[in-house]
Structure 1
Amino acid sequence: MSDETNAPRPSAPSPAALARMAPRPPATPATEPPAATTDHSASAAFGRVDEEGKVYVRDGEGEREVGSYPDATPDEALQYFARKYDELYASAHLLHQRLEVPDVSAKEIGDGLKSLREHAHEPNVVGDLPALASLIAELEAGLTAKRQAESAHRAEAKQAAAAEREKIVAEAETIAAQPVEKVQWKQSTARMRALLDEWKAHQRGKVRLDKDVESAMWQRFSKARNGFDKTRRAHFAQLEQTRGEVKHVKEDLVVQAERLSTSTDWNATAGAFKRLMDEWRRAGRAGRADDDRLWERFRAAQDAFFNAKDAEAAKEDEAHRGNLEVKEAILAEAQALLPVKDLEKTKVALRGIQDRWEAAGKVPRADISRMEKGMQRVEQAVRDAEDKKWASSNPELSARASSMVTQLESKVADLQAEVEQAESRGNASRAAKLREQLEAQQAWLDQARKGLDEFGG
């Protein structure tokens, strides 16, 4: 082999090396002939070997020396350097194929291209160097396009991620801005925690926002969370204070209820319990445990009183059951007075019935309404008959009714004359209209005569 200055340059990276995106170490000088089974004649055609065994490759308008292969024939020397070219070109071709694979990043391609450029700079190979340069130029153009596409994709991904973060922040701000009286604290608190988990999940994601954008959003999100927590703490502190006040109020109501529970002043105490119940409702709520405990005491006192009251009423009802039988008979006697035929006799009989009714005493509570309504219907019927008789004997009303009949009779007579006159003149249209008026006036006259008959007119 030639001296060090004429030794072959490092060989091109293998396809496997480019796949790992790592530069390939320089190859050792050739000391053995290339494999006989591989033909690199197409690339070898771009070189020659001189009489001294030096190998040259066409490079642009001229040629340059690439090395030598001691103790080898010219063809073997050319095959060796042509094989180096073919390996270098194959590596470039493989990198070009990987350029089209979406999962291969521009950084990986860039690393591979950097290694390829190092090996392709005035390489000690024999082959179509312009073709290799053209392929490398395509790789460079493709890498630029891939970087631009990745940049655009990253921008879109950032925009989408920013929109998702904005939704998280906006929802947190909406929760924090709720009026205190409308906040569902359990649900809102849980949702705030969930939004924080979503924020952390986005931070762990692949897409990173610009630092200033993320910082501004985090400040808004943090402000909303802190504001909500502050409001929640203040609300529950106030609620705790209010519940303490409610507790004292209800404790006093319980004491009053327990004091009344043994009273036998049934009506007054029942009214007092109603007032206590109204105050209980207006008092609001203490803590659940206190509310439940105090309510049990209040209800127990209330039940004790009303159970005793009901028991006493049951005794009274039993004692009044005999009165019910008496009043049933009296009510049947009163109902037999209807319909009223002789008003004066009916009024006398009813007064006697009413006296016996009052003397009969109380009836059981369940029957009070039925019995009272039955007697009231009889009394009302008698009053109605009395009112009707008075109205029929009222001279003023009778005179009005007589005057009305006279006026209507005159109006009917006039209309009859007008109808006959219209018909005699052949005016059928006017006659029809007058006949309608006549029928209406006649109906009113008939009604007025009935009213007059009631007055004996």
Structure 2
Amino acid sequence: MSSDPWGRVDEQGNVYVRTAEGERQVGSWQAGSPEEALAYFERKYQGLEAEIGLLEHRVRKTDLAAKEAQTALDHLRAQVVEAHAVGDLDALAKRLDTLGGEIETRQSERRAARAKAQDETRAAKEALVAEAEQLAESNQWREAGDRLRALVDNWKALPRLDRKSDDELWHRFSHARSVFSKHRKAHFAALDSEREQARLVKEKLVAEAESLSDSTEWGPTAAAYRDLMTQWKAAGRAQRDAEEELWARFRGAQDVFFQARSAAFSERDHEQGENQHAKEALLVEAEAILPITDLKAAKAALRDVNERWEAIGHVPREVRPKLDGRLNAVERAIREAEEAEWQRSNPEAKARAAGMTGLLQAAVDKLQADIDKARAAGNASKVAKLESELAGRQALLDQAQKSLQEFSG
């Protein structure tokens, strides 16, 4: 019989291993010595020990999945329990127990990490959903659309949650995008309708503008173009291509009219400049009539000037008041000469002047007689009063006599 600390071989060749629960037979050996039998079963132990060491390394040094590690652990535990090997099987079982605790700890840590990651993912997706729902009501179509596309990319980059939670959040997210898309589509459909209406209005305005381009009614047509421009601005914008084409036609029609008007105004300005020079020459001739020495000749000369003045035509607006003022001054001088002549030759006025002169002379003579009487009576105060009255009547008499002399001039 042969033995070591962990096993023995009896006389019949049966091999036993010692454990904390006692001995158990692990095999038999008939082909050699007991020492060879123990050595064979010890090598089996060493092989089992090596497998446990390898599993320890994988659990502690690699990212071996907990489920795979647990499966390998359970397999080795079964091997240790039923091992046909000689060695410290209890030590191997303890190592496996220790390793089992480590695997369980790692499982707990990984479950916690997964739970934390899920919570973070849930929070991230809820934030994406909240932002998408807010953007769904935006009318900043380009900015909001770009942001929603970026949110989709962010969503795809996040891990999935449990199916129920992930589906619920995705439904809200997708609904928000659909609401935004619906609003945007309705907005642009309305915008297209408005632009089509604007195109129709502007086509009519262009047709009217083109019909006016050959007009020579400068003032009314320019006013009509201003009104058309007001209507153009109020009509809104058509689609870009149509807007550009219609505007080119509208502007072109205006250019034709205003260029023609500018040419006509240039010709008119030249003609009016010539007219100005002609009227200035006439004014020199008219002003030579003054001072008036022969009223009849002066009136005839002015009539001739007026006839030629009217025949000349328009002058620039800015010089018209000055020119008219100079001619009016000559006309006014002749009218005043006519008035003075009439006054001198008016019998009724002369008679009235003579009558007034006679009345004033009689009054002056009476006052002079009253003064003489008062002075003779020694009434100095009455003399002073009458002399004051006499001075006033004498002044009126002098004026009346002067007027009467003008009738006789």
Partner of 2:112: 152
Code of the aligned partner of 1:214: D
Measure the CA separation in 1 of the matches of 2:60 and 2:254: 87
Partner of 1:118: 78
TM-score (norm 2): 0.64
1:190 Cα shift?
Answer: 4.0
**Superposition RMSD on alpha carbons, in Å?**
3.0
Partner of 1:130: 90
Partner of 1:184: 140
1:261 Cα shift?
Answer: 1.1
Q: Does 1:290 align with 2:242?
A: yes
Q: Does 1:83 align with 2:40?
A: no
Name the SS of the counterpart of 2:178 in structure 1. helix
Q: Percent identity?
A: 44
> Are the equivalent residues in 2 in contact too, given 1:323–1:361 (CA < 8 A)?
yes
1:223-372 to 2 correspondence within 5 Å?
223-321=175-273, 362-363=315-316
Cα deviations across residues 328-371 of structure 1 (Å, max 9, x unaligned)? Answer: 9xxxxxxxxxxxxxxxxxxxxxxxxxxxxxx997459xxx6xx8
Cα deviations across residues 20-56 of structure 1 (Å, max 9, x unaligned)? Answer: xxxxxxxxxxxxxxxxxxxxxxx95311111111111
Cα deviations across residues 179-231 of structure 1 (Å, max 9, x unaligned)? Answer: xxxx23344334434433443443xxxx3302222122112112101111221
1:145 Cα shift?
Answer: 0.3
> Are the equivalent residues in 1 in contact too, given 2:77–2:93 (CA < 8 A)?
no
Structure 1: tracts of 5 or more residues without a match: 1-42, 329-358, 375-457
Partner of 1:49: 9
- Go from structure 1 to structure 2 and tell me whether the alpha carbon gap of 1:327 and 1:97 turns closer, same or farther (over 3 Å shift): farther
> Are the equivalent residues in 1 in contact too, given 2:66–2:106 (CA < 8 A)?
yes
Cα deviations across residues 4-31 of structure 1 (Å, max 9, x unaligned)? Answer: xxxxxxxxxxxxxxxxxxxxxxxxxxxx
- Go from structure 1 to structure 2 and tell me whether the alpha carbon gap of 1:314 and 1:68 turns closer, same or farther (over 3 Å shift): same
Partner of 1:68: 28
Name the SS of the counterpart of 1:100 in structure 2. helix
- Go from structure 1 to structure 2 and tell me whether the alpha carbon gap of 1:44 and 1:186 turns closer, same or farther (over 3 Å shift): farther
1:237 Cα shift?
Answer: 2.1
> Are the equivalent residues in 2 in contact too, given 1:44–1:81 (CA < 8 A)?
no
Measure the CA separation in 1 of the matches of 2:279 and 2:29: 144
TM-score (norm 1): 0.58
1:356-435 to 2 correspondence within 5 Å?
362-363=315-316
Q: Does 1:196 align with 2:148?
A: no
Measure the CA separation in 1 of the matches of 2:224 and 2:55: 97
Name the SS of the counterpart of 1:302 in structure 2. helix
> Are the equivalent residues in 2 in contact too, given 1:57–1:64 (CA < 8 A)?
yes
Measure the CA separation in 1 of the matches of 2:114 and 2:137: 34
The structure where helix makes up a greater share of residues is 2
Measure the CA separation in 2 of the matches of 1:48 and 1:210: 57
Measure the CA separation in 2 of the matches of 1:323 and 1:78: 145
Bigger relative CO (Cα 8 Å, ≥ 6 apart)? 1
Of 60, 64, 69, the residue aligned with 1:100 is 60
Name the SS of the counterpart of 2:82 in structure 1. coil
1:88 Cα shift?
Answer: 0.9
Cα deviations across residues 120-174 of structure 1 (Å, max 9, x unaligned)? Answer: 1231111112211110100110111010011011112212222332233223212
Code of the aligned partner of 2:48: L
> Are the equivalent residues in 2 in contact too, given 1:254–1:294 (CA < 8 A)?
yes
Name the SS of the counterpart of 2:220 in structure 1. helix
> Are the equivalent residues in 2 in contact too, given 1:44–1:79 (CA < 8 A)?
no
Of 146, 156, 161, the residue aligned with 2:121 is 161
Code of the aligned partner of 1:229: S
- Go from structure 1 to structure 2 and tell me whether the alpha carbon gap of 1:89 and 1:302 turns closer, same or farther (over 3 Å shift): same
Measure the CA separation in 1 of the matches of 2:279 and 2:16: 144
1:81 Cα shift?
Answer: 0.8
Q: Does 1:215 align with 2:167?
A: yes
- Go from structure 1 to structure 2 and tell me whether the alpha carbon gap of 1:327 and 1:96 turns closer, same or farther (over 3 Å shift): farther
Q: How many residues align?
A: 290
Cα deviations across residues 220-247 of structure 1 (Å, max 9, x unaligned)? Answer: 1121011112212222222222222212
Name the SS of the counterpart of 1:64 in structure 2. strand
- Go from structure 1 to structure 2 and tell me whether the alpha carbon gap of 1:263 and 1:56 turns closer, same or farther (over 3 Å shift): same
Instruction: Point out the structure with max Rg over C-alpha.
Output: 2
> Are the equivalent residues in 2 in contact too, given 1:96–1:139 (CA < 8 A)?
yes
Measure the CA separation in 2 of the matches of 1:282 and 1:200: 47
Partner of 2:373: none
Name the SS of the counterpart of 2:63 in structure 1. coil
- Go from structure 1 to structure 2 and tell me whether the alpha carbon gap of 1:61 and 1:220 turns closer, same or farther (over 3 Å shift): closer
